[in-house]
Amino acid sequence: MRFFFSSKSLLIIAAFCFSTQFASAQSTEPAIATLLQVEGSVEAVTAKSPKGRRGINGMLLFSGDKISTAKNSKATIEYRDGSRVRLFQNSQLVLNLSEEQATSKRTFKFQLSLNKGSLRGRFLKGLQRTRIRTPTAQIGVKGTSVRIKDNDNRATVSLTEGQVEVSNISSKTILNPGQWLPDFGRTEDLTEKVAPLPNILHLKTDDYELDFRDGKAKQLKFSVQLQHGISGKSVARSGLVVFESDYYSIRLPKRFMLDKKGFARVLVGIDPPRLTDPGFKGLITIRAFMDQDGFDDVAEGSLVLKILNAGKKRTLLINPEGGVTEKNN
């Protein structure tokens, strides 16, 4: 039995096959990030949901996805290399691009657009190249902790760690740690706007050196104070604070509030380092940042703890009767 198809039918079949292959290719595109720490009303506009859908914890994000937060809402976008963007209320962010670079180390190239609102970005040093576009400026990021705000064609950029290059239509400048560009427009001379960040989150604890030879976990008391960056005087201002650390055996407090005097006390639990971790250098860094918009004038706080005897050789002795013991050489 023979089947005959008109040229029009063949065109329809060919178009169907092409569209099916295109859709299949889209569905196999790898996710570039994950949506986490969703609070309030968050919307994600994606290829599969062009009209938007509710953003939820664990949602996979792809190139071209757009994340929007409503009033009193926030969300975190975590990339595959561990870099994070905290998107604050009344904001809109587009994940334009994330691609892995052909280098000896696993490095990434990120491009984002902050259409409105504010964010805090923590990008890993040496592992990525990031460019963030806003209606007012372009920000080139080199492994850093940065805050960016852009509303009504007025932008603010502040930097705690690393380096960023900020440019607008008429000029460009470099920001170094502890500097900011407050409230600038598209055509202003940015070199004249660079200034020291006015305030800082100051962290303090009683013990900066920890001895884990007893094998027991430690609990440290931390004080957090919002201070003027130059005078060190307390700044009476309440706000939400988050602790973070790259150390794998630490129990950080949940997000907490500074009181009306800009002060808080919290507990941090730290477990001994793993015996099988030769890469650990004996230093633990703890950072603190303001977890809401309106705090672009506050530099993040950081504190480094040192573990004693971390550099000594450690040998595991196996005793048939007594089990495993540790010997410091």
Domain residue spans of the chain? 33-197, 200-314
Please name which of 123, 57, 112 lies closest in space to residue 84, comparing C-alpha atoms.
123
List C-alpha distances in Å: 4 to 12, 88, 121, 192.
14, 61, 61, 75
Confidence of residue 170 (pLDDT cuts 50, 70, 90): very high
Using a pLDDT cut of 90, give the percent of the chain over it. Answer: 70
pLDDT at position 28 is: 66
Segment 193-251, tens digit of pLDDT: 999 999 999 999 999 999 998 889 999 999 999 999 999 999 999 999 999 998 989 99
Contact between residue 203 and residue 224 where contact means Cβ atoms under 8 Å apart: yes
Question: Model confidence at 6, in pLDDT bands (50, 70, 90)?
Answer: low
Q: For the chain, what percent of residues have pLDDT higher than 70?
A: 81
pLDDT of 323 reads 45
**What pLDDT is stored for residue 315 in this prediction?**
46
pLDDT band at 317; cut points 50, 70, 90: very low
Average pLDDT over residues 251-260: 96
Dihedral of alpha carbons 300, 305, 306, 307, sign: negative
The DSSP H or E segment spanning 106 is none
Fold of the domain spanning 200-314 = Immunoglobulin-like (2.60.40)
List the CATH code of the domain at 33-197: 2.60.120.1440
279/4: higher pLDDT: 279
Q: Is the pLDDT of residue 305 over 90?
A: yes
Lowest mean pLDDT among 17-21, 28-32, 121-125, 278-282: 17-21
| Separation of alpha carbons 263 and 176, rounded Å | 27
The mean pLDDT value for 80-105 works out to 82
Confidence at residue 255, expressed as pLDDT on a 0 to 100 scale = 94
3-state secondary structure at position 252: coil
pLDDT band at 127 (very low <50, low <70, confident <90, very high): low
At residue 278 the predicted structure's pLDDT band, cuts being 50, 70 and 90, is: confident
pLDDT exceeds 60 at position 267: yes
Q: What is the pLDDT of residue 128?
A: 63
17-21, 35-39, 65-69: least confident range: 17-21
The enclosing H or E element of 193 equals: none
Greater model confidence, 309 or 38: 38
State residue 100's pLDDT score: 62
Determine the average pLDDT of the residues in 175-199: 97
pLDDT exceeds 50 at position 319: no
- Evaluate whether 71 touches 89 at the Cβ level (below 8 Å): yes
Mean pLDDT of the chain: 86
* pLDDT digits 0-9 by tens, 148-167: 999 999 999 999 999 999 99
Inform me whether the pLDDT recorded for 21 exceeds 80: no
